[in-house]
Chain A
């Protein structure tokens, strides 16, 4: 297809002699100087022609600039005076390139139809700002376009083109690297992952006073192979324990793989189909190796979409086993009577947030509601809902792109209003990404709500034969009694929050707001644990960490990094010292914080 323009696209030529500038100031400036296209721009054009398929081309040519999709976007609603957030405006950034090289009118009279090529690396940076920073690929505009223009799909393609030449937010690069190299997008090492599974299994054995294998690993010929989001292993192992409890009481023949267990796929966000295919294949191959009958995907919107709906296409594989969301699995267990639930255990009013990937790209929206009604007493719908729901703001990998956090939080006003209108106290969602996105919105807009998942509610409602054992740790057990913890963070809110949680659990807490103070306190108090922020004025967390590790007096102090800027992780992990004992991304809730601190301090 690229033939027609190939002849002119890769040599310097006097093209774009009329620059089209959109908007009221639409003007046409003469620029007769011949230009040299940058290597990256050349590659982007080359790859664009290879990526085009009929659906994408249809979406690129069919837009009539009617603007009907405009208000469907949460970015537009929260930036009403900035037209650059409008879906059609964003779409036109790629469309103009397409028109310049693939559309007949665009090639002959580019300024007439707003066609314009891409020349420099700065042009690509601008495209990056739109494709990554002003759209979460939520697909809400797609279902609101009368022409059937699927902007989100070709925005993902745009991301993929940019990623292929290394133009991407730092966080996307870090996470993609982790998923390529370590096999999961949070860089969880195999020993840590297995350690976490064993830890959860032991906790369950203790809780249920039952010695059976609570989390079977790499069991052959199991009916169910359970795959999870690395966030569960790293920050929220409670969801693994809850799922294990449900499988156990359902009498399921199940297992978790020791490798290839990550069902998330950053290829969906980065637009990198090669990564998408490699990650999906890793998981599919593992299930085949274990001769599993069914792959159950834990509650995660992008994980479900990328494994169940996109993975086989990216990997080019026909899958010889069934795949389903754990929501379907839990619902089936309840309906078939394999587990008994008591909805009166979940009395607090809840609402449900549909993940965009589940609802708008995979049609998974009735099952969670059915299950919710079986395990909760008081469920209130959020409006709009199902395929029309608004993005949590954390979609499209936005949680890993901290440079766009202010935009994201501003756009979260739409979600905050939706949540507030439900007048509930808990928002349930079947997506880990949404858990983080919603927590951020809730904190930013001070909604005072809690976010949870169906697996937690089902586990809580489980009727355990003969005895009922509460899942959570009783309040009166002061697990941190006798421990000294130094909290280092420059945000007063975080200092207060962490200190309160640790003190409530019996610890003696010291706080420091900068690096020098932290080192002084660490030397003086010899704490059992330091929770350390990375980004701080003055001496950053990386330097503090290295000093703690290299100083004989503090080298054995346990350190848990807690940062809101995951892309800065290399400041810690690139140092030639022993890595920290724990790592957490902000935002972090009380349960996650305590679970991780207990893990780092090796407390039961």
Chain B
């Protein structure tokens, strides 16, 4: 392994992670500086709905495609969402496994797992680019950051797929690009829309709390 690759896998990642952690901490404090709106009225709705239930339901929403009409009526979109985010998760995990648990990557099964998940995510990411470019609504609401983040993620999936065999002897380009992209992400993400996962627990917490308090969550249909 070259010194550059060693640097990319270790020092670069560690520095990027520290920067990301600092920026995220600042971000969370920034959000928490805004006062949370409170509800002083007594709760409404059925007696068995509570803010706590609302919060749990709201957080669990992500694994309940039937919970919202928008995911219930578009199962393919939901499947794409799952594949895409599983790909993100495994690509992140792989950036830790390669430098810190390299032995694990010697297993063909593990490599195959990473390749299947990141490969599938790559295909979905390409579909998402097509959808964003071709759909009038998505085009109208997309910013340069939306396009850039998506294209960058697509490239990252591709290089995660190629880097998964972790065979530096056969050439370091794929691993180098993968790790440099990972580091770039760690630093760029807090400034881009990809930081949404940082806000997700907050927005869903407050929305779920209010909806639970008002007896709307869990959603009932008849």
Contacts and interface: CB of A to CB of B under 8 A. Distances in A.
Answer whether A and B are interacting partners.
Answer: yes
Interface string B185-222: 00000011101100110111111101100111001111
B11 to A, nearest CB: 26
A147 B35 contact: no
Scoring A22, A144, A362, A363 by chain B CB atoms within 10 A of each residue's CB, the highest score goes to: A363
B204 A148 contact: yes
A555 B44 CA distance: 53
Contacts of A57: 31, 34
Contacts of B214: 309, 361-363
Interface stretch (A69-77, A475-483, A562-570): A69-77
B3 interface: no
Given A309-B44, A361-B216, A363-B46, A54 B202 contact: yes
A52 B31 CA distance: 11
A65 B146 contact: yes
B103 interface: no
Interface stretch (B137-145, B161-169, B176-184): B137-145
Highest count of chain A CB atoms <10 Å: which of B143, B144, B195, B205: B143
A360 B216 contact: yes
Contact of B206 (A55, A86, A104): A55
B70 A71 contact: yes
29 contacts: A20-B143, A24-B136, A54-B34, A55-B37, A58-B199, A58-B203, A61-B195, A62-B202, A64-B196, A65-B146, A68-B70, A83-B140, A89-B141, A111-B144, A112-B148, A144-B69, A146-B70, A148-B206, A308-B41, A311-B41, A313-B40, A363-B44, A363-B49, A363-B215, A363-B216, A364-B215, A385-B221, A387-B216, A388-B219
Contact of A24 (B71, B139, B207): B139
Given A111-B144, A146-B70, A308 B44 contact: yes
A317 B69 CA distance: 36
Contacts of B46: 363, 366
A114 interface: yes
- The binding surface of chain B is classed by DSSP as helix
Interface of B: 31-41, 44-46, 49, 58, 61-62, 68-71, 73-74, 77, 81, 135-146, 148, 191-193, 195-196, 199-200, 202-208, 210-211, 214-216, 219-222
A81 interface: yes
Interface of A: 1, 20, 22-24, 26, 52-59, 61-65, 67-72, 76, 81, 83-84, 86, 88-89, 92, 104-105, 111-114, 142-150, 308-313, 317-319, 359-366, 369, 381, 384-388
Given A23-B140, A369-B222, A312 B41 contact: yes
Interface of A is mostly: helix
A106 to B, nearest CB: 10
Contact of B137 (A58, A89, A312, A388): A89
A544 B195 CA distance: 63
Nearest to A388: B69
Nearest to B191: A105
B216 to A, nearest CB: 5
B49 to A, nearest CB: 7
A83 B136 contact: yes
Contacts of A62: 196, 199-200, 202-203
Nearest to B211: A143
